[in-house]
Chains A and B, each alone.
Chain A
């Protein structure tokens, strides 16, 4: 059974196909309004989430399907000690496809090994979040007209930020991509991502703590939140949480066609004064996420022979 646990579970050709489907959905929503009639998506969210769960649910409703939902671990049998494997086997009896978020890294993979329906990883701890990456890729594709030959600045928590790791992995497969890694020293990109992806593929990158100095080079500025839930030590979180705050004056040297992205939710990393700047693309990302999830649900249900 085909599942999507990591963005690398999808080939470049498959991602291109998903983007084409998403663009077709945007252009012809009525054509897809009954595509999943009678099918059920189970959203199993064992960790708080607003946009990802609602995005999956909105995606399934817009495809004409239905949704079964667990919105927190405490309201499910997981609170009684049920294993992820048993949960996956059980939910497979009710639903045609599962979207799972879990605080433990690897939980959706365990679910995929045990489910008899496709499983989509909707975020597992600080590990993978492939559908956020799909949203990011569609946003870049629509803003820049392609995914190659761009310089991408990644700013904030590059250590625990799963969206950053997935985006680097995904973009590393396209030609002419360069990265600027902007973070406090304590939140630098893990060496395994640098070694296994960037160095191994010979992808140019710079590491810096200074956002403003690299701003003129950037086609994309991807801001991230310093996530309280990833820290074991509250003092470390408080010390680092305000490291980078994007304000209008910091955009003085930025290109006119810069695309400012953020996986959201933001706390204060991007001033609300930026929201009215035409270069702010983070709410477009939210919308693109729904379209890519629609495309992914369609693809996996077709491959499973359910549609």
Chain B
């Protein structure tokens, strides 16, 4: 399967297989006018299988979202057909307005203007909890 290489844009590589669509949704890539490719289950020597997202536009991507979904992913910035920057990803301590608290008893369920903020409480198990009600993100 061939996908054209991009001249100016962003490549999110080494995404854990199966996480590509979640990243696509949380990064809001469906709202872009430019070409976006999600390639699933690509063979990888290191990972066995991986997903890749290619964005054919030099836009800023929210690294916190990538760090939350898959901190092992890599972000490559391509300009003029050349890799100019490789961004390292880490799990963010705070995740703001990326995911919503699903606890119906949480104050965010009734006060719509409150930001939905989650805090990393367990790095080893990648657990984020709502800062208001401490419900685990899932």
Binding site for B on A (CB under 8 A): 83-85, 102-107, 109-110, 124-127, 192, 196
Stretch at the interface among B20-28, B68-76, B90-98, B99-107: B99-107
B31 within 8 A of A: no
A192 to B134, CA, bound (A): 10
**Chain B contacts of A104 at CB under 8 A?**
105-107, 109-111
A84-B111, A110-B107, A110-B111 known; A105-B133 Cβ under 8 A? yes
A106-B133, A192-B136 known; A126-B105 Cβ under 8 A? yes
**Chain B contacts of A125 at CB under 8 A?**
105, 133
Nearest A residue to B103, CB-CB: A105
- Check B106–A106 contact: CB distance below 8 A: yes
A83 to B122, CA, bound (A): 31
A125 to B101, CA, bound (A): 15
Sorted from nearest, which 6 A-B pairs have the closest CB atoms?
A106-B132, A105-B133, A106-B107, A104-B107, A125-B105, A107-B107
- Check B131–A109 contact: CB distance below 8 A: yes
A273 to B135, CA, bound (A): 39
Q: List 23 A-B contacts (CB under 8 A).
A: A83-B111, A83-B113, A84-B111, A85-B114, A102-B107, A104-B106, A104-B107, A104-B111, A105-B103, A105-B132, A105-B134, A106-B108, A106-B132, A107-B107, A109-B107, A109-B131, A110-B107, A125-B105, A125-B133, A127-B105, A127-B133, A127-B134, A196-B122
Nearest B residue to A128, CB-CB: B134
**Chain B contacts of A126 at CB under 8 A?**
105
Query: Nearest-CB distance from A244 to chain B (Å)?
Result: 24
Contact residues of A: prevailing secondary structure: mixed
A83-B111, A84-B107 known; A106-B122 Cβ under 8 A? no
B11 within 8 A of A: no
A110 to B108, CA, bound (A): 10
> Number of residues in B with C-beta < 8 Å to the partner?
19
**Chain B contacts of A110 at CB under 8 A?**
107, 111, 114, 132
A196 to B131, CA, bound (A): 16
A127 to B107, CA, bound (A): 11
B130 within 8 A of A: yes
B121 within 8 A of A: yes
A206 to B131, CA, bound (A): 30
Query: Nearest-CB distance from B45 to chain A (Å)?
Result: 35
Contact with A along B105-128 (1 / 0, CB 8 A): 111111101100000011000000
**Chain A contacts of B114 at CB under 8 A?**
85, 110
- Give the one of A84, A105, A110 with max B CB within 10 A: A105
**Chain A contacts of B131 at CB under 8 A?**
106, 109
**Chain A contacts of B121 at CB under 8 A?**
196
A107 to B131, CA, bound (A): 11
- Check A105–B136 contact: CB distance below 8 A: no
**Chain A contacts of B134 at CB under 8 A?**
105, 127, 192
Contact with A along B43-65 (1 / 0, CB 8 A): 00000000000000000000000
A85 to B135, CA, bound (A): 21
Nearest A residue to B121, CB-CB: A196
A107 to B110, CA, bound (A): 10
A-B contact sample (18 more), CB < 8 A, given A106-B131, A124-B107: A83-B111, A84-B111, A85-B114, A103-B105, A104-B105, A104-B109, A105-B133, A105-B135, A106-B106, A106-B107, A106-B108, A106-B132, A107-B107, A110-B114, A110-B132, A124-B133, A127-B133, A127-B134
A124 to B103, CA, bound (A): 13
Query: Nearest-CB distance from A268 to chain B (Å)?
Result: 26
**Chain A contacts of B130 at CB under 8 A?**
106
A50 to B3, CA, bound (A): 67
**Chain B contacts of A107 at CB under 8 A?**
107, 132
Query: Nearest-CB distance from B96 to chain A (Å)?
Result: 14
Query: Nearest-CB distance from A78 to chain B (Å)?
Result: 10
- Give the one of A83, A103, A106, A192 with max B CB within 10 A: A106
A84 to B1, CA, bound (A): 54
**Chain B contacts of A85 at CB under 8 A?**
111, 114
